[in-house]
Amino acid sequence: MAIFKGAGVAIVTPMQEDGTVNYEQFARLVEFQVENGTDAIIVCGTTGEASTLTHEEHLEVIRYCVEQVAGRVPVIAGTGSNCTQTAVYLSTEAEKYGVDGLLLVSPYYNKATQKGLYAHFKAVADAVKVPILLYNVPSRTGCNILPETVVRLCREVENIVGVKEASGNISQIAHLAAIGQGCVDIYSGNDDQIVPLMALGGLGVISVLSNVAPAQTHAICQKFLEGDVEGSRREQLRALELCDALFSEVNPIPVKKALNLMGMEAGPARMPLTPMEETNVRKLEAAMRTYGIL
């Protein structure tokens, strides 16, 4: 059974101006998501700035999220690392907090072979019992998890159940769907490709857009799942300008700015991420107004 179907938000980690985690505002963001129909919350992923959280902060944010959500929707924790031992540690700790699943990014910088990727993910999966989604985002990691490796892991490792596919390569995703023959739960990792990926058998999206437009992102997925493909397509196309603006600089700089513009107090991103360029802020504001969220 899939961990979730529909729109899961890759939720930001709000910060105080001094750079510490703003837990009070994090609770508000969780409530905003749940109240607006988000189907799952993915905490401490790329958008959640996991790479600049200490291990203690990382685990505390996961624990706090599980507590705040209180079982209303699934919580999936990002616990990947380029160090297998660290990924095992974060994953086993997150499991103790009651997460519904884990999201494991491919080891970044190391650029493991496909054999190495298999061994890495299997080692983490063998240390826990909760279901696991792989996260393929080669533009950030320098490492592409090939479809054959994804399928092998899903077939041979009981609790590896699917993948967040953010390669942007529709041909690769189509090949994955073809050879997987239903054994891989596929989620879009790109907000501008939700409908194309669902047309290939995907179950939904793990979304940046959903931070600022949870009801609308949910609608894209729900309409498709209910058979209203034309309605889903319209919602997807209407969101494209905003999707583009949300990635006009490296994620999560623009989405945090967008939340701040909405009065949602996401705060700054941690260094080495820096404030958004004014030209891109104007582009983002215009897209948000056109979309009707500002």
Active site residues: 135, 164
Residue 176's CB: how many other CB atoms inside 10 A? Answer: 27
The answer to whether residues 269 and 49 touch, using CB atoms and an 8 Å cutoff, is yes
**Please, how many CA atoms are within 13 Å of residue 194, restricted to the half-sphere of its CB?**
34
Question: What single-letter DSSP state applies at residue 201?
Answer: T
Give the amino acid at 94: A
The answer to whether residues 142 and 174 touch, using CB atoms and an 8 Å cutoff, is no
For residue 118, what are the contacts with CB-CB under 8 A and spacing of at least 6? 149, 152, 153
**58: exposed, middle or buried (Cβ count in 10 Å: 0-12, 13-18, 19+):** buried
Residue 112's CB: how many other CB atoms inside 10 A? Answer: 20
The answer to whether residues 270 and 52 touch, using CB atoms and an 8 Å cutoff, is yes
Long-range contacts of 156-159 (CB under 8 A, 24+ apart): 156/122, 157/121, 157/122, 157/125, 157/126, 158/125, 159/125, 159/128, 159/129, 159/130, 159/131, 159/132
